[in-house]
């Protein structure tokens, strides 16, 4: 997964985790243990009735609502990742 993530350096990514947390931001770095994002929207899906999929689609449509300058995410909690540009309307 580290190798594939590194291909997205300096691009806006969506990172889904094992928890209710989802992250949207610019991928800055991938280390042995974590992913580093900048200008990040950290979203706890338990705070809303909107599904993760709908939230990400709305983010793509309206823009990222950054609430953190920098975030470190442990690689062992990452379930999936994609470019924000790859999100499709459903």
User: pLDDT digit of tens for each residue in the chain (90 aa)?
Assistant: 778 888 999 999 999 999 999 999 999 999 999 999 999 999 998 878 888 888 899 999 999 999 999 999 999 999 999 999 998 876
Torsion of CA 62, 67, 71, 73, to 10 degrees: -60
Q: How far apart are CA 23 and CA 13, in angstroms?
A: 8
Domains belonging to the chain, first-starting first, are: 2-86 (2.30.30.100)
Tokens of 88: 């499709």
Integer-rounded Cα radius of gyration of the chain: 12
pTM: 0.91
């Amino acid at each position: 997964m580290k190798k594939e993530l590194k291909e997205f350096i300096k691009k806006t990514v969506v990172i889904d985790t094992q928890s209710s947390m989802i992250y949207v931001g610019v991928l800055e770095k991938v280390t042995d243990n974590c992913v580093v994002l900048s200008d990040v929207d950290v979203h706890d899906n338990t705070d809303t009735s909107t599904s993760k999929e709908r939230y990400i689609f709305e983010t793509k449509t309206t823009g990222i609502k950054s609430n953190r300058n920098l975030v470190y995410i442990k690689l062992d909690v990452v379930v999936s990742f994609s470019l924000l540009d790859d999100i499709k309307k459903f």
